[in-house]
Structures are given as C-alpha cells and as structure tokens.
Structure 1
Amino acid sequence: MAHIDLFFSTLSPYAYLAGNRAEKVAEKHGASITYKPLDIMALFARTGGTPPKDRHPSRVAYRAQELVRQAKLLDMPFNLKPAHWPTNAAPSSYAFIAAQNAGGGDLGKLMFSICRSVWAEDKDIAEDAVVRSCLQEAGFDAGLADSGLLVGAETYAANLEEAVERGVFGSPFYITDSGQRFWGQDRIADLDAHLAGKI
C-alpha cells in the first residue's frame, strides 16, 4: 500500500488552502498518511528560507496576491491578515500529535480545522478553547489538548529534524514511500498523478 508523509505547520496558509484534497487523493489510491506537524520558522532557518516578515517587499507583495487568488480559485474564505498570526503553534501541534497517537477521529479534518481557525475565523490556535473545539469537530476527545505534552514536544522536535534530513523546506510538503517530494497545495494534482503511475 502506498504511503505519504505529510509535513505541515498549523500556521501555514497553504496547509489551509490544501483543504482535504490530499486526503481524497490518498483515499483514491489506497494510500495511508502520516501527519508530521513541525515548527515552520525553525525549518526556514535550517533550510535557507526566510520568515515572511523578513522577505523582500516584492516577495511579500506577490505572496499577498497569490494567496488571495488561490483562495478565490478554491472558493475558500480567506483573511490575508488574520488577527492571530503569527502565534504559538506548539499547543495545536502537540494536540495534533496526541490525536494521531490516540486515533479515533479524522486527522485530515483536524488539520483543516486548525488551519481554518487561523486563516478564515480569526481565532488564536494558541488558546486551549480553540484547540479543544478543533479536536471535537474532528471527532477526537477535547481532553487530548491537555495530554501527552512531553511526547508532543519530543515528536514536534523530531519532526523538524526528520524534515531537514529528508529535504523538506515548506508547508505542506508530501513525501511518498518511493521518495518523491511534492511541495505545496498546488502540487496535490502532481501527487495524484504520481500515485497513479503517470509521472
């Protein structure tokens, strides 16, 4: 059975715009997904990236146009300047890791719910109540927000190290079990084609 490792940040606008398309592709091809939330700012620092606040004005302006265009093409609500961004991504990431370890819910829905909270609902994903609501929406026990914090912290750090080692430099980033890498929500169609044996 095919497998996909999905590296992402709960703060990523592109992870939000990915919606549930990667999950649909995985289901279509009978592939499993392991989700690997990580610290995107630390990843940038380790892989030659630049945090948005430090980018050249030309890059900032293009990013602003492109995010709005992509949201419109996907017919998704989107706030280019959310009230709580950037914020501390660790609490939502630890809760996600706890949910993946516990099982019983929909991880794709959880990822989308957390990212949507930032980019469409002006919520602060560093707040316990927001994380709990996302967990419940995705079919998980809200109490997972308070459990497995040590394991969450260790896994979060390990995910970053694994990402650097495996050539990840952005979010979302998909790696198949054959070693093919796909960066960005706009490469999900390519991931689909690869799993179909076309590329």
Structure 2
Amino acid sequence: MPHIDYYFTPISPYTYLCGVRPAEIAASHGATLTYRPADMIAIFARTGGLPLAERHPSRQDYRAQDLPRRAMVAGLPLVAKPAHFPTNPAPSSYAILAAQDAGGGDMAGLVFALARACWAEQRDIADDDVIRDCLSAAGFDAGLADKGLLAGAEAYHRNTEEAVRAGVFGAPFFITDTDQRFWGEDRLADLDAHLAGRI
C-alpha cells in the first residue's frame, strides 16, 4: 500500500488552498496519509528559506499575485491579509497531532478547518476556542486542545527534525514511500499522476 507523509503548517495559505485534496488523492490510490505538522520557520532557517517578512520584495509581490490566482483555481475564498497572520501555529499543530493519535474524526476536515479559520474566516488559530471549534466540527473531542501538550510538542519537534532529514524546505510538502517529493499546492496533480503511474 503506498504511503504519503504530508509535511505542512496550518498557518500556510498554501496548506489552506490544498483543502482536503491530499486525503482525496491518497484515498483514490489506496494510499495511507500521515499528517506531519512541523515548524516551518525552523525548517527555513536550516534549509535556506526566509520568513515572509524577510523575503525580497519581488518574492513578496509575486506571492501577493499568486495567492488570489491559486484561490480562484481551487474555488476557495481567500482574505489576502488576514487579521491573525502571522500567529503561532504550534497550538493548532499540537491539536492536529493529538487528533491523529486519538482517531475517530475527519483529519482532512480538521486540517482544512484550521487553515480556513485563518485565511477565510480571519480567526486566530493560536486561540484555544478556535482550535476547540475546529476539533468539534471535524468530529473530534474538543478537549484534545488541552490534552497531550507535552506529547504534541515532542511530536512537533520530531516532525521538524524528520522533515529536514527528508529534504523538506517548505509547505505543503508531500513525500511518498518511494521518496518522490512534491512541494506546493500546485504539485498535487503531479502527486496524483505519480501515484497513478503516469509520471
């Protein structure tokens, strides 16, 4: 059975633009999918990337044009400058990890709900109430926002270390069990084609 490791941060607009497509692609090929939220700022620092505010103006200008276009392609609403960006993605990442361990809910729905909360609803995904709402909406115990914080922090750190070792340098990033790597929401079609044996 094929497997995909999905490295991401819930604060990334490109994670939001993925929607639930990673899970749909995995399911269509009988593949398993593991959600691996990681500290992208730490990954940037170790792989030559820069936080948004430190990027060259040309890169920032391109991103400002690219995001609305990608949102239109994905058919999703997007607030280009949301009220709570940037914010700390760690609390929502810990909740994602706790939910994945607990099982019983809609993981794709949870990841999408947290990213949507920032990029379409202008909510702060570092806020416990927002995290609880997203957990509940995805069929998980809202109390997961408060449970296993130490375990979540440890798993978040492990994911970050594993991401660097695996060659991750941005988000979203998909790695198959055959070490084929796909960076970016705009490479989901390539991931799909690879799993289908077309590329």
Q: TM class by shorter-chain length? A: over 0.9
Distance 1:13 1:108 in 2: 16
Give a deviation string over 1:103-133, Cα, whole Å, max 9, x none. Answer: 0001111100000001000000111000000
Distance 2:121 2:43 in 1: 26
Distance 2:105 2:46 in 1: 33
Letter in 1 for 2:98: A
- Post-superposition, which runs of at least 4 consecutive aligned residues in structure 1 deviate over 4 A? none
1:11 is matched with 11
Distance 1:102 1:182 in 2: 28
TM-score normalised by structure 1 residue count: 0.99
Distance 2:42 2:111 in 1: 20
Q: CA RMSD in A?
A: 0.6
Q: Give the superposition deviation at 1:186.
A: 0.5
Task: Give 1:17-96 correspondences, 5 Å limit.
Answer: 17-96=17-96
Q: Give the superposition deviation at 1:22.
A: 1.3
Task: Give 1:101-140 correspondences, 5 Å limit.
Answer: 101-140=101-140
Letter in 2 for 1:149: L
Structure 1 gap ranges (5+)? none
2:164 is matched with 164
2:182 is matched with 182
Structure 2 gap ranges (5+)? none
Letter in 2 for 1:155: A
Letter in 2 for 1:115: A
Distance 2:76 2:54 in 1: 27
Q: Give the superposition deviation at 1:23.
A: 1.1
Distance 2:102 2:20 in 1: 21
1:174 counterpart SS class? strand
Q: How many residues align?
A: 199
Distance 1:113 1:194 in 2: 27
Distance 2:115 2:23 in 1: 15
Distance 1:17 1:79 in 2: 12
Letter in 1 for 2:169: F
Letter in 1 for 2:47: T
Q: Does 2:40 align with 1:2?
A: no
TM-score normalised by structure 2 residue count: 0.99
Letter in 2 for 1:140: F
